[in-house]
Structure 1
Amino acid sequence: MGLQATLKAAWLVGALSMAVYRPNSLTICLALFFSLLAFLTTRGRDLFVVLALSLSFLLYFWMGQNALDRQANLPEKKGQLYTMLAYPDERTINTDGRVAGIGRLKSSGDRVYYYYQAKTPEDLARFRSSSALILQTGRGDLTPIMPATNFYQFDFKEFAKTKRITHQVRLQEVELRADHLRTWFDRMNTQFHRWHAALSNYAKALPNPVGNYALALLLGSKDQTLYDDNPKIQELGLIHLFSLSGFHVAFLLAVIRWLGRLVGLYQEVTLAIMALCLISFYWLTACPPILVRAVIAGESRVFAQAFNRRFSSIQIWSWSLLLTLIVHPQILLTLGGQLSFFLTLALALLPEDWSTWQKGLFLSVLTFPLIVAQQYTWNIWQSFANLIAIPVFSLMILPVVLVAFFGQVVPGLATVANWLVTMFDQSVYWLGNLPGQIVIGALPWPILLVLGFAPWFLLGAEKAGRRWVVGTWLLALIIGFFLVHFPRTGEFTTFDIGQGDAALLREPYNKTITLIDTGGKVSFQKSGFSDQEATKNKPYEKKSWPKNQEGQARSVIVPYLHAHGISRINTLSLSHQDQDHLGDARVILTTFQVDQVLLPAGMTNQPAFLKKIQPYLGKAKVVSVTDRVQPANLPLRVLHPFQPGIGENEDSIALGGRVGPLVLFTAGDLDQAGEKKVLARYPNFRPDLVKFGHHGSKTATNPAVMAEWQPTYGLISAGRKNRYGHPNQEVLEVAAKQKMIVYDTRRQGMLRYVYENYKKGHFQVKSTNDLTNSKTTN
């Protein structure tokens, strides 16, 4: 098969994998496009081979998807006895005594996530001491993985499917015992996992950040603290440097070749060692999907050199993609897989006469739609950061990390290495903090297609053609930017953030942005476990805040606002001082430009304000409000409180006003007496839509007030399986008596009322299935 036909076959098979495993408008369009391209531009024997390959892979993907569907349709089972195989390097042990990992059910072989809460430190020690393949037997609940319950939220269920996982087991009790290894393959595989676990523990003994760098660069065991401690790594698009890829494989092969020459080995012997080391390296790093391409490409080059054959970079890339899709059929549905294959193909096709900055700019433009489609933001320093970071990584960081890892027994060596890596880490953090992050938003998929395809035409175009390509790319970006940033619809949205409150009021064309509360994590600390590790001081972020003390604002509210092109919040209204309403104010204040923060009058003297809000205000103006203070750029009216600090719940800010064709009342945590006072103060106020106070608690909804108002719709924000029993049955009976249509985040996820003008609006919910049927909580 010719070179061009091989490339077309690889592209077509890759597009088919995405269309089969995640069918949507974008993936189906890609599959149709590459099908037409292959069949209209390929002739003779090449066409037959492309057709045979694509049909074979299509059948393979279809069978894989059917197997996933069968697995996903397994019924939920509670209180069953489960036995699963679990490797020590496929689990994590948190400082609060929680054990989590991936196991394989002994009965079916299906991969599942498992979770277990240790009862005592001695109970937890059993897991720490197990260093081989173990059989975990225990009673627990098998449940499907919860899908994303908010629009634009990271969908962990879809991510888990790329790992062939659809269910989770929550264990109440666990018995551990060694598994009997029957075959030599099982014994060898287990040994590699034991080595990987031992080396990971060895790397964790290093100080951070060099310890996290060693885990990521040498062992493929990225600890989430790598990105938590320095989020600018992701923002600047440097995550590919920390994925085991061709960069690391090339370094490994270069070291082996150098050692072979140093000791005088024959070239054939050195090549054999290289081939064996590549496979061992893949196995030792626990077989990460992203490494398959690099290993196949490395083995191809070793084979070509050993047998004096010549393979082009395009052939190696095409074979790598096809073989990777056999091992990991959904690799192109992950950002790491997309970046890996896009960048390596681009590097193989780039003209040699292009300068370094031209190549860097091209690669940056090429990855732009991939990153924006996932993160909705773009940092203008990304290209510069990659141009600088790549040579620094190869010349300094990787060698330093290797020296620190293997030489940590030498006193002081790890400290010096950690200082060097910290300097690099600080530089990334400093660069990422420079003004330059642009909120692009969730671009429509046709725009993403144009942005993704257009750069490839630059490679073979003449000067005049390049102008047309650049013009088309910029025009598509401008159109997409305006569609996102100036939408003709407005919305009132209640976030599903568990047992908390957060809502967004966005006027048409993003005229004003009002965020009402932020949610927050209410902690119930497990006794008997130390949480010191979670509160490590970061080397340069002075206002450190442990990630495990945050609620869901970073994963739910931030991406939703960014997806709508929002980088500035006109008003952040914090109804009162409870953690579940303002606990994540820090996240919002440090991520967005906030003009003003509304607080109930008298709250600025409270500890909650002094600790959780004041240190992060920046340029935001604090406005203490009563119903006699009406801030500018607030599309709603403050209806409560009437005077400063009159009680724990009575001082809650209550807002009301018109949202499209409906009149809204959002109560915060206002109690029944407070609602009655609002009715008395504003007798002509008649809301159509009521956001129930205090998550539907019976103390917060006054039946007499509801009977007087007779609202048509009600909204409830509460956590699934919450310990408070919210919403209370009495509140639901009040709503039923008034014949209200009630929307509930527990059952339906995110709730949106979308309107175009003062005559037209409609409700949207994230899930039409009852989400409370699953045991998964939030």
Structure 2
Amino acid sequence: MGLQATLKASWLVGALSLFVYRPNLLTICLALFFSLLAFLTTRGRDLIVVLALSLAFLLYFLVDQKALDRQANQPEKKRQSYTILAYPDERTTNSQGRVAGIGRLKSSGERVYYYYQAKDPEDLARFRSLAGPTLMTGQGDLTPMMSATNFYQFDFKEFAKTKRITHQVRLQEVDLRSNQAASWFDRLNAQFHHWHAILSDHAKALPNPVRNYALALLLGSKDQTLYDDNPKIQELGLIHLFSLSGFHVAFLITVIRWLGRLVGLYQELTLAIMALCLIGFYWLTACPPILVRAVIAGESRIFAQAFNRRFASIQIWSWSLLLTLVVHPQILLTLGGQLSFFLTLALAILPDYWPTWQKGLFLSVLTFPLIVAQQYTWNLWQSLANLIAIPVFSLVILPVVLVAFFGQVVPGLVTIANWLVTMFDQAVYWLGNLPGQIVIGALPWPILLVLGFAPWFLLGAEKTGRRWVVSTWLFAFLTGFSLVHFPRTGEFTTFDIGQGDAALLREPYNKSVTLIDTGGKVSFQKTGFSGQEATENKPYEKQSWPKNQEGQARTVIVPYLHAHGISRINTLSLSHQDQDHLGDARVILTTFQVDQVLLPAGMAGQPAFLKKIQPYLGKARVVSVTDQIQPANLPLRVLHPFQPGIGENEDSIALGGRVGPLVLFTAGDLDQAGEKKILAKYPDFRPNLVKFGHHGSKTATNPAVMAEWQPTYGLISAGRKNRYGHPNQEVLEIATRQKMIVYDTRRQGMLRYVYENHKKGHFQVKSTNDLTNSKTTN
């Protein structure tokens, strides 16, 4: 099969994998496009080979997907006994007694996430002392993974499926015993896991940030704290440097070749050592999917050199993609896989005479639609950051991390190495803080296709053709940008953030953006444990705030606002001082430009404000409100409080006003007495859309007021399996008597009322299935 036919076959097979595992309009178009490209431009024997190869892979994908569907459709099983094979390097524990990891069910071999809450410190110590493969046996519940319950939220269920994981087991009691591997392969696999765990513990003895760098760069044990400690790594698109890939394989091969020459080994012996070391490196780093391509490409080049053969870079890339899809059929559904294959293909095709800056700019344009499709933002400094970081990584950072990792016994060596890594880490943070972060939004998929394909036509095009390509790209981008940032519709959206409150009111064309409360994490300390898990503070921020004290604002509210092109919030209204209403205000204030923050009068002097809000205000102005103070650029009217801080929940801000064709009432945790006072003071106010107060608590919904208002719709924001029993049955009965249509975040996830000016609007829910049937909580 010729070079071009091999490339087309790999493109087509890759598109078929996307279509089979994630069928939608985008993947259907990709599959059709590459099918037509292959069949219309390939002739003779090559066409037969391409057709046979594509059909073989298609059959393989369909069979695999059917097996995965059967696994995913297993019903929930409660209070049954399970035995799970677990390795120490795939398990984590924290100081609150939580044990979590990935293991295999001994009964079926299915990979699952498992969770266990230790009863006391001695119980937790059992897990921390385990050094080898362990059989965990105990009673538990096997439940399917839950899909994302908010629009534009990262879907962990779909991500887990790319790892062939569809279920989780929550164990109540656990018996631990060592597993005796039966076959030589199992023993070898267990040994590599054991070595990986030992090396990970060795790396964890280093100070930060060199500890996080060693775990990511040497062992593939990248922890989320790497990005928590320095979020600019993600924002500047430097993730690929911290993912085991061709960069690390090339470094490993270079080191082995240099050592071979240093000790005078024959070239053939050096090549054999390289081949074995690549396989060992892949196994020792716990076989990450993203590393398969790099190992296959490295082995191909070693084979070519050993047998005096020449393989074109494009040919190696094509066979690497095909073989990777055999091992990990869903690799192209992950951002890491997309970036890895996209960038390496571009590097194989780009002309050698292009200067480095031009190649870097081209690669940034190529990755733009991939990153924006998942993160909705783009940093203008990304190209510069990569141009600087890539050579610094290869010449300085990776060698320094190696020296720190292996030289811990040498006094002062780790300190110097950590200082050098800190300087690099701080430079990344400084560059990422420069103005240049742009919120692009969730561009329509046809726009993303144009942005993804257009740059390839620059290669080989004449001057006039290049102008057309650039013009097409810019036109598509500006069209998509305008559609996102100036939408014709407005919305009132209630976020599903668990046991808390957060809602968005956005007027058509983004005329004004109002966020009502932010949610927050309410912690309940485990008896017998130390409470807060030790975490590293972000080293370059004046105000530190451990990530484990945050609620879901960063993973739910922030991506939703970014997806709608929102970088500026006109009004942040914090109804009162409870943690589940303002606990994540810091996230919002430090992520978005906020014009004004509304507080109930009297709250500005309270500890909750002074600790959780004031340090992060920036340029936002604070407006203390009563119903006599109506802030500018607020599309709703303040109905409560009537005077500064009377008592608990009496100072809660209540807002009311028109949202498209409906009249809305939302009141935080206002109680029944407060609702009655609003009815008395505003007798003509008649809302037909009510967001129930206090998550549906019976203390917050006055039946007499509801009977007078007779609202048509009711919204409830509460957490699944919450310990308070919200919403209360009495509240639901009140809604039934009033013949209200009730939407509930527990059952339906995110709730959206979408409207266009004062025309008829409609409700949208994230899930049409009852989410309370799942045992997964939020």
| TM-score (norm: length of structure 1) | 0.99
Counterpart of 1:126? 126
State the distance in 2 between where 1:546 and 1:539 align.
12
Q: CA deviation at 1:349?
A: 0.4
5 Å-filtered alignment, 1:274-313, equals: 274-313=274-313
Q: CA deviation at 1:223?
A: 1.1
Counterpart of 1:566? 566
Q: Using the TM superposition, name which of 737-746 and 523-532 deviates more.
A: 523-532
**Residues 494-530 of structure 1: per-residue CA shift (max 9 Å, x gap):** 0000000000000000000000000000000113333
Counterpart of 1:667? 667
**Residues 164-183 of structure 1: per-residue CA shift (max 9 Å, x gap):** 00000011111111112111
Q: CA deviation at 1:679?
A: 0.1
**Residues 29-81 of structure 1: per-residue CA shift (max 9 Å, x gap):** 10110001001100011001100110000011001110110001101011110
For 1:74, the aligned partner's letter is Q
- 1:767 matched to 2:767? The reply is yes
Contact 2:229 2:537 in 1 (8 A): no
SS at match of 2:353: coil
State the distance in 1 between where 2:528 and 2:410 align.
35
State the distance in 1 between where 2:538 and 2:151 align.
32
**Residues 69-96 of structure 1: per-residue CA shift (max 9 Å, x gap):** 0001101011110011111111111221
State the distance in 2 between where 1:598 and 1:269 align.
72
For 1:143, the aligned partner's letter is T
Contact 1:121 1:528 in 2 (8 A): yes
State the distance in 2 between where 1:209 and 1:63 align.
44
SS at match of 1:386: helix
5 Å-filtered alignment, 1:39-54, equals: 39-54=39-54
State the distance in 1 between where 2:290 and 2:610 align.
46
5 Å-filtered alignment, 1:522-671, equals: 522-530=522-530, 534-671=534-671
Counterpart of 1:201? 201
For 1:103, the aligned partner's letter is G
For 1:540, the aligned partner's letter is Y
State the distance in 1 between where 2:46 and 2:534 align.
57
For 1:131, the aligned partner's letter is A
Return closer, same or farther for 1:273/1:535 CA change in 2, 3 Å cut-off: closer
**Residues 117-168 of structure 1: per-residue CA shift (max 9 Å, x gap):** 1111111111111111111101111101010000000000000000000000
SS at match of 1:534: coil
- 1:6 matched to 2:29? The reply is no
State the distance in 2 between where 1:301 and 1:475 align.
41
Counterpart of 1:136? 136
Counterpart of 2:393? 393
SS at match of 2:438: strand
State the distance in 1 between where 2:216 and 2:375 align.
21
Counterpart of 1:702? 702
- 1:16 matched to 2:20? The reply is no
5 Å-filtered alignment, 1:149-164, equals: 149-164=149-164
Contact 2:87 2:133 in 1 (8 A): yes
For 1:735, the aligned partner's letter is A
Contact 1:534 1:548 in 2 (8 A): no
Counterpart of 2:192? 192
Counterpart of 1:349? 349
Return closer, same or farther for 1:523/1:25 CA change in 2, 3 Å cut-off: same
State the distance in 2 between where 1:402 and 1:758 align.
64
SS at match of 1:168: strand
Counterpart of 2:359? 359
Contact 1:519 1:579 in 2 (8 A): yes
Q: CA deviation at 1:253?
A: 0.2
Q: CA deviation at 1:321?
A: 0.3
State the distance in 2 between where 1:330 and 1:392 align.
32
State the distance in 2 between where 1:483 and 1:540 align.
37
Q: CA deviation at 1:532?
A: 6.3
Q: CA deviation at 1:411?
A: 1.4
Contact 2:101 2:113 in 1 (8 A): yes
Contact 2:626 2:643 in 1 (8 A): yes
Counterpart of 1:451? 451
Kindly tell me the number of residue pairs found equivalent between the two proteins.
778
Runs of 5+ consecutive residues of structure 2 not aligned to the other structure? none
SS at match of 1:85: strand
State the distance in 1 between where 2:319 and 2:159 align.
25
Q: CA deviation at 1:535?
A: 4.0
Counterpart of 1:221? 221
**Residues 743-771 of structure 1: per-residue CA shift (max 9 Å, x gap):** 00000000000001212100000000000
Q: CA deviation at 1:531?
A: 5.1
SS at match of 1:551: coil
For 2:685, the aligned partner's letter is F
Counterpart of 2:756? 756
State the distance in 1 between where 2:634 and 2:238 align.
39
State the distance in 2 between where 1:457 and 1:300 align.
29
Contact 2:716 2:744 in 1 (8 A): yes
For 2:276, the aligned partner's letter is L
State the distance in 2 between where 1:537 and 1:112 align.
31
For 2:16, the aligned partner's letter is L
SS at match of 1:586: helix
Over 6 Å off, 4+ runs: none
For 1:262, the aligned partner's letter is L
**Residues 616-648 of structure 1: per-residue CA shift (max 9 Å, x gap):** 000001000000000000000000000000111
5 Å-filtered alignment, 1:157-556, equals: 157-530=157-530, 534-556=534-556
Contact 2:94 2:533 in 1 (8 A): no
For 1:719, the aligned partner's letter is G
Q: CA deviation at 1:537?
A: 3.5
Counterpart of 1:102? 102
For 2:464, the aligned partner's letter is A
For 1:542, the aligned partner's letter is K
Q: CA deviation at 1:615?
A: 0.2
State the distance in 1 between where 2:748 and 2:500 align.
15
| TM-score (norm: length of structure 2) | 0.99
Contact 2:229 2:536 in 1 (8 A): no
For 1:381, the aligned partner's letter is W
CA-based RMSD of the aligned residues comes to: 0.7
Q: Using the TM superposition, name which of 579-588 and 175-184 deviates more.
A: 175-184
For 2:290, the aligned partner's letter is I
SS at match of 1:435: coil
For 1:247, the aligned partner's letter is F
- 1:66 matched to 2:80? The reply is no
State the distance in 2 between where 1:671 and 1:539 align.
43
For 1:114, the aligned partner's letter is Y
State the distance in 2 between where 1:235 and 1:671 align.
43
SS at match of 1:286: coil
For 1:711, the aligned partner's letter is P
For 1:740, the aligned partner's letter is M
| Percent identity over paired residues | 89
- 1:726 matched to 2:722? The reply is no
State the distance in 1 between where 2:224 and 2:267 align.
41
Return closer, same or farther for 1:399/1:504 CA change in 2, 3 Å cut-off: same
Contact 1:535 1:545 in 2 (8 A): no
Contact 2:83 2:138 in 1 (8 A): yes
